[in-house]
Structure 1
Amino acid sequence: MQSARLADGEWDDDSDDEESSMSDVDFLMLGIDKKGVDPKDDPDRVDDSFCHKNRYRKRTFKVVKEMPFSGLFPNLQRTRRFEGSGIAFANGSYYVVFDSLKTLGQVDLRFSFRGPENRLVGPVGDESQFEGISFNAPTDTFFVLRESFEHEEHGLVPVVYELKLTEGGANYQLKETCMVRFQLQDVNKGFESLHVFERDGKRHMFGLCESNYCKTIVGPDPPGLQRGNGRLVWATYHAPEDQYDECIWNVEKVIVVPEDAFLLDYAAIAFRGDFGEDVAIVSQEDAAVWVGKFDWEAMEFVKNPIPGEPAGQIYHFPRTDDCHKQYCNVEGAAWIDGERLVLTSDKSKRIQDHRCMTKDQSVHIMSLP
């Protein structure tokens, strides 16, 4: 088989491939686990032709470096459970939240084993249910997301905590707790990722809904499982007016994620730089990342000017030698630069394939192919 030669002298490896005209969405679905319809079939069987396609090579991340959280910190504070759920860059380090711990993980740029500048910030504590973290430079504070909370007046809503590191950075103080006025349907399918920014003298946030339409995944034909219907919620902060009032995030707009981000769930969102147009959205279930552009003036994702063409591209986490998913629990993401991302993984679930254990509770640095 021969490849077509391009004008610049390079070869187009996809030109003679049978899937050359296949869309990223169709290719994504090709890689979904093929569950056996007969009880005698292997329930974890996959079609390994997915990994033999040229598209897989051209759309799969390259692992640069990775390490379990248990190897990063010199002092583990007698804990071994690190359910990494979000990551953000601040003042020369990356900070990680864990939904299993109240501590923050501070990791230097070397991501080295027991690095002397790596540490757990604050006591480990009980489960935090922290799902996302964002650093706000103007206030020098962190904003941490709790997926859902039962508010006595507003019902089931997301909650955002503002945290301030103490002098020396070894601990943090809680400054404020504010609910987001956005009604949720499911306690386990709320906001999964957070991005806080300030503009025009106001504080704003983006909250990424975990499920499609921000709705439930329970029941017959649940809307939360209808792929390609991701939602990003934009809200503005309002301070309490008096001692009897409470702070609140009021929703400005529900932004539609492009439908070619044809994902089963939405685990993390990362913008590159302050108001940078590059944006990445992670799917934990699909072990994939959609990369596109965002327009900060229109507060919308950038559409492809060619009608019917995708707004971004889907990339995949590397699979095992037999083409099974192994990055099954990625929940946090941040850009390092235009070519590399740093990602965090939660603990694998007992219902997942045993192969998922290898990469769980870890930090991963990957480059775009």
Structure 2
Amino acid sequence: MIFVVFDNTYHIGTFCTPFGQSFNCTDQLLAWPDASLATTDSQFEGITYNSINDTYFVAQETIQTEMKEVFRANIFEIRIILTDSTPIRVLESCIVNWDFPTDNKGIEGLEFVTHQGSGHSYLLGLCEAYDCNPKSTSNNNARILRSIIYYNKIISALCSWEPVGTLAIPSAVHFDDYSSLSIYHRKANELPAYVAVTSQQMSQVWVGMIEEINQAPFFSLSSLNNNTIYDLPRTHAATSECGMKYCNIEGVAWQDGSELILVSDKAKNDQDTQCREKEQSIHYFFCRKICQTKK
């Protein structure tokens, strides 16, 4: 079973993987506990599991702040109990202390990692735009915003995620946008681990490694030996999207060491027909070649 978030609703989807369908698994939508938000756009863009507390973090791409033209992401920590009458319980809602100048260029992907050497845990938030700033045009400034939770000691009811550093995606990865990321731990919570980052506009997946280091920024990203960037399947027809079929990839998750699960957004009005065939869907890809590249 996998959990899927949507940017136009606060409901969280639970969907059965092909393997799980043989165990009486049922696809369903879980209602957010605050019923007043039922018809509101959530701006959800990522969900990740906190294995330490058995909870989930859910990221809102941005929310409006009191400052004009300043937006910040927000992180919910929730517990999901499928057998409960209220399956989603919101434990906390904490702002990310990082300014974005627009409401649609914030955090696109989310992961939870633990630094084994120090014992500290972090959230990795993937920025959609270059250098976390949509006005930047540099080809090499894609960033993963890494934040550590911080509780305000003056007003204990408030909390925030404070940025403590950025991780640069290798310069060989020239994506026009960055839509999601996922980490596959070969052993529970241990690094090094595989990392997958997707591009919606280029319909590609980069697979690399994330490793732990003993000095700031405490983690490093590196490409595999062959700078592994994969095109998602194309058509042979000449189209304005260069034959792309998976035109709106918004999420990625490792199912295990040999399978990637991708989710796609709704097709845009000006996109070709083949883009609509794969819209709003869950896609499964086997990746044996990826996971045998480096041990």
Into which bin does the TM-score normalised by the smaller protein fall? Answer: 0.7 to 0.9
What amino acid is the match of 2:26? E
In structure 1, stretches of 5+ residues that fail to align are: 1-92, 217-221, 305-309
In structure 1, the residue matched to 2:35 is none
Q: 1:165 to 1:125 in 2, by over 3 A?
A: farther
**From 231, 234, 245, the counterpart of 1:326:** 245
Q: 1:180 to 1:302 in 2, by over 3 A?
A: same
CA distance in 2, matches of 1:141, 1:363: 23
- For normalisation by structure 2, the TM-score amounts to 0.82
CA distance in 2, matches of 1:367, 1:146: 29
In structure 1, the residue matched to 2:211 is 295
What amino acid is the match of 2:94? C
**CA RMSD, Structure 1 to Structure 2 (Å):** 2.4
Q: Deviation per CA, 1:146-171, whole angstroms, max 9, x where unpaired?
A: 11122226932111111122461562
1:281 matched to 2:197? The reply is: yes
What amino acid is the match of 2:17? L
Q: Deviation per CA, 1:7-58, whole angstroms, max 9, x where unpaired?
A: xxxxxxxxxxxxxxxxxxxxxxxxxxxxxxxxxxxxxxxxxxxxxxxxxxxx
CA distance in 1, matches of 2:28, 2:88: 13
CA distance in 2, matches of 1:134, 1:172: 15
Q: 1:152 to 1:311 in 2, by over 3 A?
A: farther
CA distance in 1, matches of 2:81, 2:8: 22
1:362 matched to 2:281? The reply is: yes
Q: 1:167 to 1:346 in 2, by over 3 A?
A: closer
Deviation at 1:104, TM superposition (A): 0.8
In structure 2, the residue matched to 1:109 is 17
Equivalent positions of 1:20-99 (< 5 A) are 93-99=1-7
Number of equivalences = 265
**From 35, 41, 44, the counterpart of 1:127:** 41
Query: What SS does the corresponding residue of 2:269 show, helix, strand or coil?
Result: coil
In structure 2, the residue matched to 1:3 is none
CA distance in 1, matches of 2:226, 2:103: 31
Deviation at 1:303, TM superposition (A): 6.0
CA contact (8 A) 1:277 1:296 kept: no
In structure 2, the residue matched to 1:35 is none
What amino acid is the match of 1:302? S
Q: Deviation per CA, 1:143-197, whole angstroms, max 9, x where unpaired?
A: 1111112222693211111112246156212221111111212211111001123
CA contact (8 A) 1:193 1:332 kept: yes
Deviation at 1:238, TM superposition (A): 1.1
**From 46, 51, 57, the counterpart of 1:137:** 51
1:317 matched to 2:232? The reply is: yes
What amino acid is the match of 1:328? C
**From 197, 205, 227, the counterpart of 2:113:** 197
CA distance in 1, matches of 2:274, 2:67: 43
Q: Deviation per CA, 1:210-265, whole angstroms, max 9, x where unpaired?
A: 0112112xxxxx424x4342101111001242545510111111111101111000
**From 205, 215, 228, the counterpart of 2:133:** 215
What amino acid is the match of 1:173? R
Structure of greater Rg: 1
In structure 2, stretches of 5+ residues that fail to align are: 33-37, 290-295
Query: What SS does the corresponding residue of 1:238 show, helix, strand or coil?
Result: strand
CA contact (8 A) 1:302 1:311 kept: no
Deviation at 1:337, TM superposition (A): 2.2
Query: What SS does the corresponding residue of 2:277 show, helix, strand or coil?
Result: helix
Higher relative contact order structure (alpha carbons within 8 Å, sequence separation ≥ 6): 1
CA contact (8 A) 1:292 1:311 kept: no
Deviation at 1:109, TM superposition (A): 2.9
- For normalisation by structure 1, the TM-score amounts to 0.66
Q: 1:267 to 1:166 in 2, by over 3 A?
A: same
CA contact (8 A) 2:169 2:222 kept: no
User: Aligned residues: percent identity?
Assistant: 29
Larger relative strand fraction: 2
Deviation at 1:112, TM superposition (A): 5.1
Q: 1:276 to 1:364 in 2, by over 3 A?
A: farther
